[in-house]
Structure 1
Amino acid sequence: MFTVAGMVPFIPYLTGVVPAPYSRAADLQKCIRTNDIEEVGKTARHGTFFQMMGNWSFGDYFKEGAITYAWELLTSSEADGGLGFDEKDLWVTVYETDDEAADIWRRVIGLPAERIQRMGREDNYWHTGQPGPGGPDSEIFFDRGPAHGPGGGPAVDDTRFMELWNLVFMQEMLADVRSQTDFRVVGDLPQKNIDTGMGLERVAFLKQGVQNMYEIDQVRPVLDRASELSGRRYGADAGDDVRFRIIADHVRSSMMLLSDGVTPANEGRGYVLRRLMRRAVRSMRLLGVEEATFPELFTVSRDAMKENYPELETDWERISTYAYAEEDSFLRKLSAGTTILDTALEKAKDTGSSSLGGDQAFLLHDTYGFPIDLTLEIAGEAGLGVDRDAFDDLMRRQRERAKEDARSRKSSIADVSVYREFRALGETAFLGYDELTAASRVVGILVDGAPVDRAVAGQVAEVILPETTLYAESGGQVADKGTIIGSGFELDVIDVQRPVAGLISHTVTVHTGEVGIGDAATTVVDEANRRRAQAAHSATHLVHAALRDTLGSGARQAGSLNRAGYLRFDFSWGQALSDATKSEIEEITNRAIGDNLGVATRTMSLDEAKAAGAMALFGEKYGDTVRVVDIGGPWSRELCGGTHVATSAEIGLVSLTGESSVGAANRRVEALVGADAFRELASERRIVQELTSALKTPKDKLAGRVAELSANLKRAEKRIQAFEAQKLQQRVPELVAAAAPAGRITLVAEALGDVGSADDVRTLVTQARERLAGEAAVVALIGVANDRPVVVIGTTERARESGAQAGALVKLATGALGGGGGGKPDLAQGGGQDSSAIPAALSALQDAVAAL
């Protein structure tokens, strides 16, 4: 859903790296694109979720076939299965040098020359923005009529002339891609391909006779319900209309993301989902609705979409749980943000400022998720502005950081053509289910991403073999450790991955000798590590089953990590697990281990596996044939390509070590497995033995004894605090008595020695100042807390009239101490690094006050 183009999953087929399983295809792809999120609601066509229809040819038909098929579908009558567009309303563009496409449109289709326009790379050449396949395209546009803009075709106006379908003639390999228009064509692809894309939402709003995509039958019901909840009418106010459209779009997009297994988070796809949901909440807020509305809006959206996506209804409990929890969480943050904003606005008024600082608005936005729209609205109600220029500058810097991060993360569509010749030799056979060693030969070596004939001692390289026993990281299970050995060389395996479908690549360090193409090689799995890793993987399946036994079917896996001796398991659940529940899950898991359940694996079709009740997990890609792993029969039945134990008893022991939140309605359990679990329990037992011995308390009464000691300690701490407070009170008269004239001002400037905290110094300063309130007095005290000097200075009103400012005096004193500080004119605080400089700091204060 998050790919920059529908072609991305097909890149291995388009480039010929992986043989296509079919020569033609047609699809409808769910897509999320937020590049133009700020335009949502403002235009007729921008949406964050859309359904992209397309057809593909992998070396089969080319330009004439694609153009003919497109024209037939668009212009055939609905009775004949077409879309029924009138030919006179359709225009096309072609790449500026593509005479062949222009000729097909004129000669084969019969389109008048005046409705065929030539355009450059920016408009009529398509690629992903990364090195790889690309090609010129031909786009088909619908003329919406004079009411929507000037004539002259899509070259003049792309609002009146709306793009319907893009036909990409994918035929060239690109390198040095710097922008949409700045790239280098390095040659032809091994075959000529077709990639087309037509948005269902655009077709729908044109065919349904509405004004924009937000008013089509799959989106409009949400807009109407938002109108009812807000009491405002759609069509009455332009600003409100934009908000209604944002809500309708974002609610549907969020629901489809949740349906696909995405959960709210602070990074990656989870952040995209969170941002969409918060923008919807914000828009409802700006429409005057402050209470939760997702139970209403999401339900309406489900009913509008479920005919096409029945999984929305069958998986509604999970989808709605996440949605409602995220809205509740954000509403609480909005409440907290409002409190912080109110405080900031009061301070701005107190200082006579007419606006809120841009840094404060950005802090509210970035830390609390508080939308700038609401900040502007609330500040306006308080009669204040917001430094929008400063806010926008901070936002710009953040976007630049995000873009730089995004550029560094574009590995998902990196050029994989380097693997073409290796993949052309066939799929890598994984023999590691049954064997730990296997003889093979080296068919490929890459160093720094480039093919080489050999690699020598000390180099890091990728090694390609036709068969291997080393497991490539997938399904939450980390890659095997091991070696690859041959005559005169030994390679330490540091990673195993699948860079393209069907191909396994071993990243190795050449430990000794040198390895070359064609060398005989034997893969050797680190047996001890494999056994511990597969025990953790099987234990993950048991924990999943135990969670579902305990919590019900709503506890579904959302991610996992399995390595030797350790497992991490994320699952959908809306609240923390009680100690009793965690103990029950642990007990069920270990009971299954003790029952020595059989572990069976079967290969079958995906449909057969689902019919048998096997769980397909989000984040995994499954082919037509899948591997099903049963532990204890149907009790634990999952689609899984990982390695596993033969019987559950081989796992040994599972000890849950933690349970925590990883997002709204998402929890994580962690556990140690096998010998690692035993060592952890043995360590805890030693700690218990030491405590029972030290406290002279039986083990079964240890918890009560520790609670008793803790209560006694708290009582003692309170008594100590009371004694220290009393002691502080007793020092106040002594400090006041030490007051001496410094010019026209009475000054108390004393070193206190060691103090408990800065609060102690602050208390003494404020109380001594109260005793001197009738005089022009300055109280400056310096104590040492945690081996560092702390300065607090207070001034009376008459002292301030004479020019004494506490903030300025603190900066003077802390400068002498090697630190800094500040505050208000009446009370300020700071700290330093050098306690030996306290006498110098006091002397500087004496001179400064005397000079006033």
Structure 2
Amino acid sequence: MQTHEIRKRFLDHFVKAGHTEVPSASVILDDPNLLFVNAGMVQFVPYFLGQQTPAWNRAVSVQKCIRTPDIDEVGITTRHNTFFQMAGNFSFGDYFKKQAIEFAWTLLTNPVDQGGYGFEPDRLWATVYLDDDEAIGYWQEVAGLPLERIQRRGMADNYWSMGIPGPCGPSSEIYYDRGPEYGVEGGPEANEDRYIEIWNLVFMQNERGEGTSKEDFEILGPLPRKNIDTGMGIERVACLLQGVDNVYETDLVRPVIDLVAGIAPRGYGQGNHDDDVRYRIIADHSRTSAIIIGDGVSPGNEGRGYVLRRLLRRIIRAAKLLGVEQPIMADLMTTVRDEMGPSYPELVNDFERIQRIAVAEETAFNRTLASGSRLFDEAAGATKAKGATVLSGTDAFTLHDTYGFPIELTLEMAAEHGLTVDEPGFRGLMAEQRARAKADAAARKQAHSDLSAYRDLVDTGPTEFTGFDELSSEARILGIFVDGKRVPVVSHDGGAAAPDRVELILDRTPFYAESGGQIADEGAITGAGASSAAKAAVTDVQKIAKTLWAHRVRVESGEFVEGDTVVAAVDQRWRHGATQGHSGTHMVHAALREVLGPNAVQAGSLNRPGYLRFDFNWQGALSEEQRSQIEEVTNQAVEADYEVNTFITEFEKAKAMGAMALFGEQYPEQVRVVEIGGPFSLELCGGTHVHNSAQIGPVTILGESSVGSGVRRVEAYVGLDSFRHLAKERALMAGLASSLKVPSEEVPARVANLVERLRAAEKELDRLRLANARAAAVNAAAGAELVGKVRLVAQRMAGGMSAGDLRTLVGDVRGKLGSDPAVVALIAEGEADSVPFVVAVNAAAQDLGLRANDLVKTLGAPVNGRGGGKADLAQGSGKGAAGIDAALAALRAEIDRS
């Protein structure tokens, strides 16, 4: 049975049963919790929550779904798709378990000539949630399933939620036994490759709260109405009905594999597992990419755009590994359109745009793949040559930042070479980049991650850096880019707003481009000669492919034309501050090694005018004495007025001299060495520096902290910023000494004494408050009112109490009420306008039908709150303290009605 027919039969079956056919929603919905629609019920969530009223009580749909968390499983397992069609039938307060089971069973088992799928009933199994005896009864009654083919499973398998706060409930899954050739017997619990899940019936009856996993979340309470949400995987059913081994060989997916097999030198299904996985990746990702583009997403570096880019680049990479060198994306998109178009006409109507975007990404990535792969091969070769098995985080970061390689692609390539990747190191560098970036960092990163627009300039040769010898240079404009696109001219006449994200590429420049922990210079680029009215402020400078200097500018006046001669001038004060920060970093590094020893190895740095940050490998926090020593050694070296020398030498000679190199950094054969004070500081460095150490000025260490396992961070001010910081500290100390009426040297001891006294007073207040509350609770227990057959304590407690305090008190009170039916409800005005409340019900009251998790809802409504819990104890919180008395009255009334 073809997939389009499977889809049609599902819709027809439920339309005949009174369901309204609802078209698939876009895979992109306005939901901050979801990157893509990942389940058939997503578009119906407002109905399940009671936020909106549906126009129908029964609905049926076949929803486009995208799930990418397990993308690495695609092609390896028999059943993982990133895109899949989820057929579902839905009831909004209409039918529930029995009819849901009946609808599913009849469609699956009815003969083909009667509109069903014709599955053999003896090969179908069901699973239910642990305590769902009702569902088991219906499976026996409606389907005639024997108990041995019904299995109970826990919350992880048979209690459904979206993974976020929202509707939830127990579920019942239907499995098909593919036979002993696929694995051991014993049902789904034994082997989910042999017993493949095809349908999930969710009995949606509750609302869940926050949680950390499939099993760790709070049940907030029942939904306004009981609902049904089912999901049948079209691709999995097609796999079974078409008699193929996996979802990649069904009628809508296999044509993509066949297309590639007709081009690649190695075929599909020839006994090479890795090649088969690559074919399946291409087939799966091609469908998914077409669907995502069709719903309006373009490749990018964040969110949905990043997912799409990753999918497309995995396709290209897999094709290359199969030996396909020619462009293939256009044909892939055409095949997807032809196969999927009958069900999704948007792929046909918008095909030109879909194909254009996919082909453009292929073209761009092919241009960077070769150069990036060379860099990877060099890094992998160097790693193996050292006898190591871990590719450095720096290499992975360079591949990502310069060549646009997703970290996942680097991980795959490393695995193919028998290597792993230092992912924590990579993540750390990514975090460091984000932290030091300015407000425009995201836009700059997006512009630079795809080098296709800059490729012609990259190939013509590097920008000449003149900034070691001069702060002003005459230069020629090689290229102008606006929002990542090359343009011949950019101007600003003072009227309309200047263009955003303008970049000027020069043939030579004195501007230092951000690298090595030193942020970029600031300054100006002005016109020369006929274009002398042109002026632009330089706000950032970045390297492209390590060769071109891209000057991010704000055009202030005049016109810049490609080929014009301009004058690039660095702000002198900025450069002076930058050199102070960078040279100060070298001094702190040297001081750290002098105080702590050679194991204090650099792990990263950042310096800007007046400030430096230095990360180093070290276990444990530094003592106050060590911190003081490091600061003193640094300032002694500054005062010594060491001469700063730089020279170029061979890398091996520099290492032999004892020059420090950043671990994991790739260095050329010729390197630049910065020497401060002879043996005091000797490092490989391409940054700008002061001429003598005294020019750094005072260095004040602000603090030392942990930034990861085995990595510590020192931060410091230098120069005038250091002086200003010390002046503020002095003024602060003087103010404290005056307020406390003690000499400055006695301030620390006096403050410590005051803090200790304050803590003691707070503890005493807490003790007295809780003691008073317990006394009030005991009195309340003694005067419990009798409501019907129940002894009730329903009381407002003193303000400032937490939910934890109330839990302790209800336990005390309940214990004093004996074995007669009893309910304890305590509520208080908490901190930050909160209204915590707790309800406890003893066993005798539960026998009367009272449940704490029901009563807590009654108590919560008048205070604009909600809660949940168990039958014996439940709690919640609200925001409306004015409703406390009404809440207690509502609780009494509810118990009186019981």
TM range (shorter): 0.5 to 0.7
- Structure 1 residue matching 2:390: 3-state secondary structure: helix
Taking structure 1 as the reference length, what is the TM-score of the superposition? 0.56
What's the offset of the Cα at 1:623? 2.4
Counterpart position of 1:454: 489
* Correspondence 1:783 to 2:897: no
Deviations 1:193-238 (A, max 9, x none): 99999x99xxxxxxxxxxxxxxxxx99xxxxxxxxxxxxxxxxxxx
Contact 2:519 2:608 in 1 (8 A): yes
CA distance in 2, matches of 1:516, 1:480: 23
Aligned pair count?
540
* Correspondence 1:563 to 2:600: no
* Correspondence 1:824 to 2:865: no
CA distance in 2, matches of 1:442, 1:653: 40
Taking structure 2 as the reference length, what is the TM-score of the superposition? 0.53
Contact 1:656 1:671 in 2 (8 A): yes
Deviations 1:643-686 (A, max 9, x none): 11111111112222222222222222222222222222222222
Question: Residues 834, 519 of structure 1: CA spacing in aligned structure 2 closer, same or farther, 3 A cutoff?
Answer: same
1:806 to 852, 855, 871: 852
1:747 to 771, 775, 792: 792
Counterpart position of 1:840: 886
Question: Residues 671, 178 of structure 1: CA spacing in aligned structure 2 closer, same or farther, 3 A cutoff?
Answer: farther
* Correspondence 1:659 to 2:773: no
Counterpart position of 1:256: 390
What's the offset of the Cα at 1:511? 1.5
Counterpart position of 2:728: 683
What's the offset of the Cα at 1:691? 2.0
Counterpart position of 2:473: 438
Equivalent residues in 2 for 1:417-816 (5 A)?
Answer: 417-423=452-458, 425-457=460-492, 458-459=498-499, 460-486=501-527, 487-618=532-663, 620-786=665-831, 787-816=833-862
What's the offset of the Cα at 1:253? 9.6
CA distance in 2, matches of 1:813, 1:453: 70
Contact 2:463 2:549 in 1 (8 A): yes
- Structure 2 residue matching 1:662: 3-state secondary structure: strand
What's the offset of the Cα at 1:612? 2.2
CA distance in 1, matches of 2:410, 2:476: 49
What's the offset of the Cα at 1:712? 2.3
% of aligned pairs identical?
A: 40
What's the offset of the Cα at 1:797? 2.4
Question: Residues 419, 180 of structure 1: CA spacing in aligned structure 2 closer, same or farther, 3 A cutoff?
Answer: farther
What's the offset of the Cα at 1:593? 0.8
Question: Residues 782, 256 of structure 1: CA spacing in aligned structure 2 closer, same or farther, 3 A cutoff?
Answer: closer
Question: Residues 270, 664 of structure 1: CA spacing in aligned structure 2 closer, same or farther, 3 A cutoff?
Answer: farther
CA distance in 2, matches of 1:180, 1:641: 50
Contact 1:732 1:764 in 2 (8 A): yes
Contact 1:659 1:668 in 2 (8 A): yes
Contact 1:172 1:186 in 2 (8 A): no
Counterpart position of 2:271: 157
What's the offset of the Cα at 1:122? 4.4
What's the offset of the Cα at 1:256? 3.4
CA distance in 1, matches of 2:621, 2:852: 48
Contact 2:470 2:510 in 1 (8 A): yes
Contact 1:154 1:161 in 2 (8 A): yes
Contact 1:169 1:195 in 2 (8 A): no
What's the offset of the Cα at 1:512? 1.5
CA distance in 2, matches of 1:254, 1:589: 35
Deviations 1:696-751 (A, max 9, x none): 22222222222222232233233323322332233134313442222221222222
What's the offset of the Cα at 1:470? 1.0
Contact 2:392 2:664 in 1 (8 A): no
Equivalent residues in 2 for 1:309-348 (5 A)?
Answer: none
Question: Residues 779, 578 of structure 1: CA spacing in aligned structure 2 closer, same or farther, 3 A cutoff?
Answer: same
Moved more, 698-707 or 634-643: 698-707
CA distance in 1, matches of 2:275, 2:777: 82
1:416 to 401, 426, 451: 451
What's the offset of the Cα at 1:183? 4.3
CA distance in 1, matches of 2:759, 2:875: 29
What's the offset of the Cα at 1:123? 6.8
- Structure 2 residue matching 1:723: 3-state secondary structure: helix
CA distance in 2, matches of 1:470, 1:605: 26
CA distance in 2, matches of 1:643, 1:409: 23
Contact 1:485 1:491 in 2 (8 A): yes
- Structure 2 residue matching 1:534: 3-state secondary structure: helix
Question: Residues 177, 541 of structure 1: CA spacing in aligned structure 2 closer, same or farther, 3 A cutoff?
Answer: farther
- Structure 1 residue matching 2:575: 3-state secondary structure: helix
Contact 1:778 1:793 in 2 (8 A): yes
CA distance in 2, matches of 1:516, 1:409: 22
Counterpart position of 2:895: 849
Give the residue type in structure 2 aligned to 1:477: Q
What's the offset of the Cα at 1:550? 1.7
What's the offset of the Cα at 1:799? 1.6
What's the offset of the Cα at 1:537? 0.7
- Structure 1 residue matching 2:641: 3-state secondary structure: coil
Contact 1:600 1:629 in 2 (8 A): yes
Question: Residues 413, 528 of structure 1: CA spacing in aligned structure 2 closer, same or farther, 3 A cutoff?
Answer: closer
Contact 1:437 1:524 in 2 (8 A): yes
CA distance in 2, matches of 1:465, 1:174: 36
Give the residue type in structure 2 aligned to 1:688: M
Give the residue type in structure 2 aligned to 1:512: S
Contact 2:521 2:570 in 1 (8 A): yes
Contact 1:483 1:493 in 2 (8 A): yes
Contact 2:396 2:410 in 1 (8 A): no
CA distance in 1, matches of 2:837, 2:695: 64
CA distance in 2, matches of 1:194, 1:805: 67
- Structure 2 residue matching 1:443: 3-state secondary structure: strand
What's the offset of the Cα at 1:571? 1.4
Moved more, 710-719 or 801-810: 710-719
Contact 2:797 2:827 in 1 (8 A): yes
CA distance in 1, matches of 2:793, 2:885: 14
CA distance in 2, matches of 1:605, 1:120: 54
- Structure 1: tracts of 5 or more residues without a match: 1-33, 41-118, 126-135, 140-152, 201-217, 220-251, 280-304, 310-318, 327-406
